Chain A
Amino acid sequence: MTEYAVRIIQLSYTYPDGTRALEKIDLDVPCGERIAIVGPSGAGKSTLLLHLNGVLQGTGSIKILNQKLEQSGLREVRRQVGLLFQDPNDQLFCPTVYEDVAFGPLNLTVPADEIQRRVDKALSDAGLNKSIRSRSSHHLSLGERRRVSLAAVLAMEPAILGMDEPTSNLDPRNRHHLIEVISGLKATLIIATHDLELVLDVCPRTVLMDQGKIWADGETRKMLADSRLMDAHGLEVPLSLKLGFKSK
């Protein structure tokens, strides 16, 4: 029997202003799998990710590692699920970078020397050097902020990692570095992104969302090469597939 990291059944969500963002979503993610969520802007990708640790709560049922996601067990779930927000400005709230990255582990009451180790590792995994530690998060460039947010999430060493646009605003070198780091992670990954080359590199399975619904769910290379499907949902077959690169 497969162990599921995430099981979502008939999840619907309407924002308070009446926008219907998710419509009866069904999604199963086995432990250790890496899946991508693609789709046009406004498809509901970010909204779906925010459900993974109970930040938003719609109707339907969500199970995280066989544990039903309920108000009472939220703390436990949040230990397991790390979320990288789409907007790094929302994710950083401490006076210095170091404190921001240490915030998660400190809340998990990790011992002091372990915190030190985790923060160091998270910062270097995110491609940041040590001089950034004492700077204020609010003075950093957008790309730097994104990497600090990533470090802050990695430092929690979550079993399930939801990432919203991890590569946006990154320069090519840091993008490559990030892809390497992501590929090396053991966590179950759910990546919402417009960066289809990243999807090809990292995720064997892809889910296509549009207008709050899932339209396709399957093998990445097959789906992304289907030009009719891609066109119908405002996407584009990635260049490397068109040109026949990346044959593994």
Chain B
Amino acid sequence: MRHNFIDRYAALDSPLHILEPRTKLLAFTALIVGVLSIPATNGFLFFIYAFAIAIMMGFSQVPLNYIVGRALLLLPFILLASLAAPWKGYLGFGVLFVRAILCLILLILLTNTTRFAELLRGMRKLGCPQILAMNLSFLYRYLFVLTEEAMRMKQARDCRRTASAPFKEELKLLSSMLGTLLIRSFERAERMHSAMLSRGYSGDFPVISPRKFSWHDLAFLSVVTLFIVSTFCFTNR
């Protein structure tokens, strides 16, 4: 049963992985802002950004098909959101779409080159309120509780069901399973929370070997800053 769907590749050791989480948070935020502020008519800049992101993807060692798969998974939402801006015509739609895709890939890169606990720590250090970080951490922890419970229930059902029932029956079964799933995962999450408390949990997820700020970070930050500043100058010329 797989539960690490957000940060499956976060434990690799690529040049991007070894950066301190704060570095990445800042740099990726800056890049996202950069993508969002590209003027709609400037096709060349979009290309430059895409190229830069592709380079980072190469460095990150996260498999390409994984990134593409993740992006495809969220594609429907992006399409929907892009369609919600009809007044801009085809061009507006296209630009919105490309922007969203680029930002999405940046986010996938960020979460797959940084362990979730480290990401949260970085956010905390950058002044994010603890309550927000905590909520995110629980979201992350309990996502897999939910999927695991669902898988177990499906297994149990499949074992006891010999023939397929009429559609209506199926639907009824499914809805009752969903209800049970909710209650079960709620109670399970409760018990896991007590297990965490029993082992001294007090709101912050500890990290075993935190990354330290080093010259890598400095180099990366300077390159990103340089990149963003120069593209900015380029557009305002």
Please determine whether A78 and B198 come into contact, CB atoms closer than 8 angstroms: yes
Give the residue name and chain of the B residue nearest to A139 (CB).
Answer: B1
**Interface size class, chain A:** 20 to 34
User: Are the C-beta atoms of B1 and A138 separated by less than 8 Å?
Assistant: yes
Q: Does B3 contact A (CB under 8 A)?
A: yes
Q: Is the CB of B199 within 8 A of A90?
A: no
Contact in complex: B196, A55 (CB < 8 Å): no
Query: Interface with B: A2-10, A104-112, A195-203, which one?
Result: A104-112
- The reply to whether B200 and A102 form a contact with Cβ atoms under 8 Å apart is no
**Most chain B C-beta atoms within 10 Å of own C-beta, residue among A89, A95, A106, A156:** A95
Chain B residues near A166 (CB, 8 Å)? none
Given contacts A82-B198, A104-B199, A139-B1, contact A98 B208 (CB under 8 A): yes
* A121 and B85 alpha carbons, distance in the complex (Å): 60
A83 to B194, CA, bound (A): 10
For window 179-237 of B, CB contacts with A under 8 Å fall at 188, 191-192, 194-202, 206-209
| Contact B199–A78 (Cβ < 8 Å) | yes
Cβ-defined contact, A156 with B200, below 8 A = yes
Question: What residues on A are CB-neighbors of B197 within 8 Å?
Answer: 53, 55, 74, 78
Interface residues on chain B, number (Cβ under 8 Å): 22
- Over the window 99-129 of chain B, the binary record of Cβ atoms lying under 8 Å from chain A Cβ atoms (1 yes, 0 no) is 0000000000000000000000000000000
Q: Which of B141, B148, B200, B206 contacts A78 (CB 8 A)?
A: B200
Q: How far is the CA of A90 from the CA of B197 in the complex (A)?
A: 12
**Cα-based distance from A139 to B233 in the complex (angstroms):** 52
CB neighbours of B188 from chain A (8 A): 89-90
Interface residue SS majority, chain A: helix
Does A224 reach chain B (CB closer than 8 Å)? no
How many inter-chain residue pairs (CB < 8 Å) link A and B?
65
Q: Kindly list chain B residues whose C-beta atoms are within 8 Å of the C-beta of A99.
A: 208
Contacts of A148 in B (CB 8 A): none
Interface 1/0 per residue, A4-29 and B, CB below 8 Å: 00000000000000000000000000
Q: Which residue on chain A has the smallest CB distance to residue B148?
A: A138
Contact at A104–B1, with CB atoms within 8 Å? no
Which of A79, A83, A102, A156 interacts with B208 by CB under 8 Å? A102
Per the bound structure, the CA–CA distance linking A153 and B200 in Å amounts to 11
Residues of A within 8 A of B141 (CB): 93
Docked-complex contact A107 and B201, CB < 8 angstroms: yes
The residues in A between 83 and 132 inclusive whose CB is less than 8 angstroms from any CB of B are: 83, 85, 87, 89-91, 93, 95, 98-99, 102-104, 106-108, 112, 115
Known: A75-B202, A107-B206, A136-B4. 19 other contacts (CB 8 A): A53-B198, A75-B200, A78-B197, A78-B200, A79-B200, A83-B198, A85-B195, A87-B191, A90-B192, A90-B194, A93-B192, A99-B208, A106-B207, A107-B201, A107-B202, A115-B208, A138-B144, A139-B1, A153-B199
- 10 pairs of residues in contact across A and B, judged by CB atoms under 8 Å: A55-B197, A75-B202, A85-B195, A90-B188, A91-B195, A102-B206, A107-B202, A112-B209, A115-B208, A138-B144
Chain A interface residues toward B at CB < 8 A: 50, 53, 55, 74-75, 78-79, 81-83, 85, 87, 89-91, 93, 95, 98-99, 102-104, 106-108, 112, 115, 136, 138-139, 152-153, 156
